[in-house]
Amino acid sequence: MQPVYVAADNITSPLGATTAQNYAAVSQGRSGLQPLQLPCMETELPAGIILPEQLAAYTAGLTVQGLTKFEQLVIASINEALGQTSIRLSQPRTLLLLSTTKGNIDWLEQHAGQVPDAAALRGMQLYDTAATIGAYFQASSPPLVVSNACISGLLAILTAKRLMASGQYDQVVIAGADILTQFVVSGFSSFHALSSQVCRPFDVARNGLNLGEAAATLVLTNNPALQSPVSNIRIGGGGVSNDANHISGPSRTGAELALALQKAIDNTELSPKEIAFISAHGTATPYNDEMEAKAFGLAGIAHAPVFSLKGYYGHTLGAAGLLESIVSMHALLHNCLLATPGFETLGVSQPLDISNQSRYQPGMQHFIKTTSGFGGCNAAMVFSKF
């Protein structure tokens, strides 16, 4: 199978408008979480919020009139990533792949009580949103949307690799994003899943997640000459599974995520002991963290250090798998095991190597990223230093 390389990447978040800014903040232990209160909330909760002045700075110089906040964020992220490479969406055999769970869902609160007309409905449909973004960049091919709960970002990378392996495309520009809205916050609140404090993944005192908003872009190519000089990463194998357990609660055994992990490792032709670290989904909810810990043991990778990035960004939904993969790629390149903010005492039934301090670990070659989502979906993917 022809290798797939990283040509460029971007993260646009509360921590900055470039991957370099984001990685510097995370490696220094700085969080983008700040107090958020919406009309649907009784109290302030920590969240990763992109402020209006940040959005204005991120889109400076772009022609973004008439576009929504979601579309502006995605365009800003794609534009910055494409500025690092000669690849353009207007080139033949180049695909735009959009990863999101909700897209322009904020229309609902901006027009509360109104019945959406045909134009509004088109604006809320994910494919039409992707087409709007593609038109901005004069994309040569119709876009593709991946929307599968919180595994969307990682599933988009796996989908892109498969499309390239099949010979349909030479380059894929993957953009993932979601924004914070009353709709999203009230939904998680109804599950009693939100924490009033900065989340504490895998800790005995964890009591829920934080939400966040961000956009991230990953440009993939099958041409080694176009590989990024600063992101020397090859995309490995992936795996997907489903718990078939509950609409919102994960598996109690971890066997299904373990299957996705084993597929990803096998498809990369590695042994479990070659995994240097695990970039976990790590939502800090009681059931997710326990399920992941069990899955790591079942997949034979519990020896590998584990970290979660949710304390830096919150849970960014459709962007999470993509954003967290990019941060983890740069951690691999820097031989850095990142800290999990808020972690103090292990609170899962399986032994895991987790630290609240970043540390240098030379010689790392491969890591694996996990994500899980509502409906019982799971995805895992290996990334390798090349």
> Per-domain residue ranges for the chain?
5-226, 233-385
Q: What is the pLDDT of residue 386?
A: 81
Nearest to 257 by CA among 342, 144, 154: 154
Q: What is the pLDDT of residue 185?
A: 92
Q: Name residues of the chain where pLDDT drops below 70.
A: none
Domain formed by 233-385, architecture: 3-Layer(aba) Sandwich (3.40)
135: Cβ contacts below 8 Å, ≥ 6 apart: none
In CATH, the number for domain 5-226 is 3.40.47.10
- In DSSP notation, 115-154 reads PP-HHHHHHHSHHHHHHHHHHHTT-SS--EEE-BTBTHHH
Cα-based angle 23, 176, 376 (whole degrees, multiple of 5): 105
Segments of 157-208 assigned E as strands: 171-178
Residues pairing with 371 in the sheet: 379
pLDDT digits (tens, 9 = 90+) for 38-54: 887 778 999 999 999 99
pLDDT digits (tens, 9 = 90+) for 283-326: 999 999 999 999 999 999 999 999 999 999 999 999 999 999 99
Q: What is the pLDDT of residue 38?
A: 82
* Strand bridging mode 94-99 / 144-146: parallel
Per the structure block, which two tokens stand in for 225? Answer: 């000459």
Q: The whole model's pTM is what? A: 0.97
Shared fold status for 5-226 and 233-385? yes
| Rg of the chain (C-alpha set) | 19
Residues pairing with 171 in the sheet: 94, 221
Q: What is the pLDDT of residue 107?
A: 86
